[in-house]
Amino acid sequence: MGFRSHLLSIYRYNCFEIYLLFYHGRTVPPCSEQCRKQNCNSFHIGFLSLNNPDRVDHCAGDRVNGEDRPCAFPAVEMIVCIPFMIINGHIRPVSPEVPDRNQQSVAHVVFFIDALQRKCDIGNIVSNRFGGVRGIGDLHLAGITHHVLKEDVEQFRLAVQKYLVPVADSIMREQAKRIGKPYPLSFADSSLEFRSGNPRPVGTAQDILEQGKKFYDALSPETSEFFRTMLNEELMDVLSTEGKQGGGYCNSLPMYERPFIFANFNGTKGDVEVVTHEAGHAFAYWINRKRVPMAYQDPSEEACEVHSMSMEFFGWKNAEGFFGPDANKFKYSHLSAALTFIPYGTMVDHFQHIMYEKPDLTPQERHAEWKRLMGVYTPWLRLDGEIPFYSDGEHWQRQSHIYECPLYYIDYCLAQTVSLEFWAMIQKDPENAWKHYMAYTVQGGSRTFVELLKHADLKTPFDEECLKTVCEAAKTWLEHFDLTGIA
Ligand SMILES: [Zn+2]
């Protein structure tokens, strides 16, 4: 997810929240008068600006008289969320460590490792998070609005369980065999896809960009013009240089009607994803750059991720150019990662629904729910491992979205499902797939997710047929895939 969409998601889902802001041991009172008056005691998330350590950033939004009132979001480049708890009316960060400005990526790690070491029960802390609203109906009142219908999500869940989990399970069984580990896999072994390492791109950063040019030139006249402009006008800052901020995202420069890609190439397959995924976002902006009103240039996030995740699959056309001898390994890994992610992601969403429906569950009951869902969505994982944090079902606490962006996680699954629909179409008829992609993308944000899909003659993920067809195609592809020489 690019930074831009991350910001949007914070705004969209958390704008009702009242933020407490924290920096270097200094706490700032709730920025909302309303909160102060009501002596609000719920779970808060603080934002820490690492870009400008002298300033505590203003809240992302506020809710005044029942209306969401956006605050002008400062131009921060990196946000770290630090969960808070309130003890005797005093605000305490969950972790006593506040990362310094160069350690943004360790914030969550510190948080979780600290919690693990101290056996701190984060579940207790978040009971205020889930308990702040009573039941899913109240979510709406509280401002946690899910933009997709609950019934649709339930339908999607069933299709995931029925069609996708068996395919994902066969992939993981294959992995256990390949790496010589028992099935079901431990958590550590499940992340070891190949003993020989991940697929690696060939050549220098310049070579990868050259391959990008080759790929977009061959794909369509529109993508050719787009990518050549990105290169000619230096709209891709991808080299890792000293002192440069980490991360990668796509942004837009509306005054110039240009997208902009920021990245840090590091010799991994992530470099190719900048050229496919981030450039997928950039291409969608490019196509819609002149659209008026500007608010209709980008659709909602799950719809945006369709642009990028699907472009990754169009990128297979040039897999040999990007990955050389690792091209096949890349394809296999890319497809299996997409197929195994969706059950996990759906579980994260399902879990949250249960938590909001039953806010009075004890921490143990919450862990038990997670463990039960794991049996449904990720049967390839051992539930009796040696690390109690995992075997007792406590590790939902590692999924930061549960704290930061309630009910957002399903967006990834929906977008990934549509991207797999594209993948299946590409296998049959790449030109036809591209026509659908363009029909989808030229609409910008002028319609809702479901309407965008319908107008591009694509199935929606809420239609059972969508995952059914995708899974049949994936199953056949995987069965015929020759893994010889890939260890
Ligand atoms: Zn993205």
What digits encode the pLDDT tens for the residues 231-254? 999 999 999 888 888 788 999 999
Mean pLDDT over residues 127-145, rounded? Answer: 44
The Å distance, Cα 10 to ligand 1 centre, comes to 15
The Å distance, Cα 2 to ligand 1 centre, comes to 5
User: Does residue 382 contact residue 184 with C-beta atoms inside 8 Å?
Assistant: yes
The Å distance, Cα 168 to ligand 1 centre, comes to 23
The Å distance, Cα 265 to ligand 1 centre, comes to 16
The Å distance, Cα 274 to ligand 1 centre, comes to 10
The Å distance, Cα 283 to ligand 1 centre, comes to 12
The Å distance, Cα 295 to ligand 1 centre, comes to 19
> What pLDDT, on a 0 to 100 scale, did the predictor assign at position 479?
93
> What pLDDT, on a 0 to 100 scale, did the predictor assign at position 305?
95
What pTM did the predictor assign?
0.74
The Å distance, Cα 3 to ligand 1 centre, comes to 9
Indicate whether 470 pLDDT > 70.
Answer: yes
The Å distance, Cα 302 to ligand 1 centre, comes to 9
> What pLDDT, on a 0 to 100 scale, did the predictor assign at position 289?
96
**Using CB atoms within 10 A of its CB, is residue 85 exposed (0-12), middle (13-18) or buried (19+)?**
middle
The Å distance, Cα 413 to ligand 1 centre, comes to 12
How far is residue 457's CA from residue 463's CA, in Å, rounded to a whole number?
13
Indicate whether 454 pLDDT > 50.
Answer: yes
Mean pLDDT over residues 110-136, rounded? Answer: 40
Evaluate the omega torsion of the peptide bond into residue 184 and state whether it is cis, within 30 degrees of 0: yes
The Å distance, Cα 442 to ligand 1 centre, comes to 18
Indicate whether 75 pLDDT > 50.
Answer: no
Q: Identity (one letter) of the amino acid at 175? A: Q
| Domains of the chain and any CATH numbers | 3-94 (no CATH), 119-487 (1.10.1370.30)
Indicate whether 316 pLDDT > 80.
Answer: yes
Q: Read off the pLDDT of residues 355-367 as tens digits, 9 standing for 90 and up.
A: 878 877 888 888 8
> What pLDDT, on a 0 to 100 scale, did the predictor assign at position 151?
83
The Å distance, Cα 305 to ligand 1 centre, comes to 5
Sheet holding 258-262, edge to edge: 236-237, 258-262, 249-253
- The mean pLDDT value of the chain amounts to 75
